[in-house]
């Protein structure tokens, strides 16, 4: 008897999801089963699977993900690996990018460099062509949880479990400003469409809006007394925010008013990551339960 595969997915928790910035019908996921998977959104099918390098420790797992015309992932052994989006083949790698693991990364808009964060609070800038480290910045005292790069690629934001958001000048390799949350670590950050506001979420169980160079939030939205905010993303048109929490619920918010528009139970465990499609018509969430949930947004 011959077997015919009908569908396949991750066999363990999924830690990250990212839409391609080049192709509107493709997204990628990273899982605790040590695989990177590229998906076709139009057919809901798995196109390619990327695996760890043969020289990585057995059981190495990806922790974060970026997707343009290649998939770039950070791993718990400290490696950064790029995979081909059609074959899953390894294209290049950076060994020992961070001791303790690469916990967050972001590709620049001009595709010339990569900004990464580590378990011990380091922020490092890498040239993509040579894969050489350009700069090293260390002021965070705990794990880097998220990175956002401004559109001009001259400055960036990093968030950390140390309760801080730091604004960096990438050319001068120095910190410009530090925003400090009163309680609990920050798990995720986003930038407003006009890049004048920072939105954060984490253990304080609030969505906080910060004006640039202002020490305290100018607005806060509470989403649950017993729920930790795990992931947050702004829509590409700037009108919406989508968030995921430790209870498995995803929520849709009006960016301007901070009002919650809708919520739904998405996962049986915490929501690990969330992203908008390029046309903002769909949201994809991933979770501890190993599920990939695809949501359609209908506007009135």
pLDDT tens, position by position, 134-193:
999 999 999 999 999 999 999 999 999 999 999 999 999 999 999 999 889 999 999 999
The CB density around residue 44, as the number of other CB atoms within 10 Å, is 10
Q: Which of 69, 58, 110 is nearest to 91 (CA)?
A: 69
Task: Read off the pLDDT band of 5 (50, 70, 90).
Answer: low
CA–CA distance, 132 with 228 (Å, rounded to integer): 37
CA–CA distance, 27 with 18 (Å, rounded to integer): 6
Q: How many helices (H) and strands (E) does the chain have?
A: 0, 27
pLDDT confidence of residue 249? 94
Per-residue pLDDT reduced to its tens digit, 273-296:
999 999 999 999 999 999 999 999
In Å, what is the CA distance from 215 to each residue of 40, 117, 208, 218, 256? 43, 23, 12, 9, 20
Residue 231: exposure state from Cβ atoms within 10 A (0-12, 13-18, ≥19): buried
Per-residue pLDDT reduced to its tens digit, 32-82:
999 999 999 998 899 999 999 999 999 999 999 999 999 999 999 999 999
Helix (H) or strand (E) run with residue 219 in it: strand 219-222
CA–CA distance, 275 with 78 (Å, rounded to integer): 25
Per-residue pLDDT reduced to its tens digit, 192-230:
999 999 999 999 888 999 998 888 999 888 877 788 999
CB 58 within 8 A of CB 66: no
């Amino acid at each position: 008897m011959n077997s015919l595969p009908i569908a396949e997915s991750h066999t363990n928790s999924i830690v990250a999801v990212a839409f391609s910035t080049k192709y509107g019908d493709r997204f990628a996921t990273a899982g605790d089963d040590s695989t990177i998977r590229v998906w076709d959104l139009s057919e809901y099918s798995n196109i390619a699977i990327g695996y760890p390098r043969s020289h990585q420790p057995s059981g190495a797992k990806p922790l974060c993900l970026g997707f343009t015309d290649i998939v770039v992932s950070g791993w718990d052994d400290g490696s950064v690996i790029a995979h081909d989006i059609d074959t899953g083949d390894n294209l290049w790698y950076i060994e020992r990018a961070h001791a303790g693991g690469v916990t967050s990364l972001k590709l620049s808009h001009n595709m010339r460099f990569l900004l990464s964060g580590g378990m011990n609070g380091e922020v490092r800038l890498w040239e993509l062509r040579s894969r050489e480290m350009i700069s090293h910045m260390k002021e965070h005292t705990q794990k880097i949880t998220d990175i956002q790069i401004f559109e001009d690629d001259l400055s960036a934001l990093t968030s950390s479990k140390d309760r801080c958001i730091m604004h960096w000048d990438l050319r001068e390799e120095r910190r410009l400003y530090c925003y400090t949350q009163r309680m609990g670590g920050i798990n995720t950050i986003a930038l407003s469409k006009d890049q004048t506001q920072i939105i954060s979420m984490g253990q304080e169980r609030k969505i906080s809006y910060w004006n640039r160079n202002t020490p305290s939030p100018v607005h806060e939205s509470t989403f649950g007394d017993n729920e930790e905010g795990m992931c947050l993303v702004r829509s590409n048109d700037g009108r919406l925010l989508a968030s995921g929490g430790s209870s498995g619920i995803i929520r849709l918010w009006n960016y301007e008013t901070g009002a919650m528009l809708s919520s739904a139970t998405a996962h049986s465990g915490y929501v690990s990551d969330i992203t908008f499609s390029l046309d903002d018509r769909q949201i994809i969430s991933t979770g501890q339960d190993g599920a990939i949930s695809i949501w359609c947004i209908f506007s009135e």
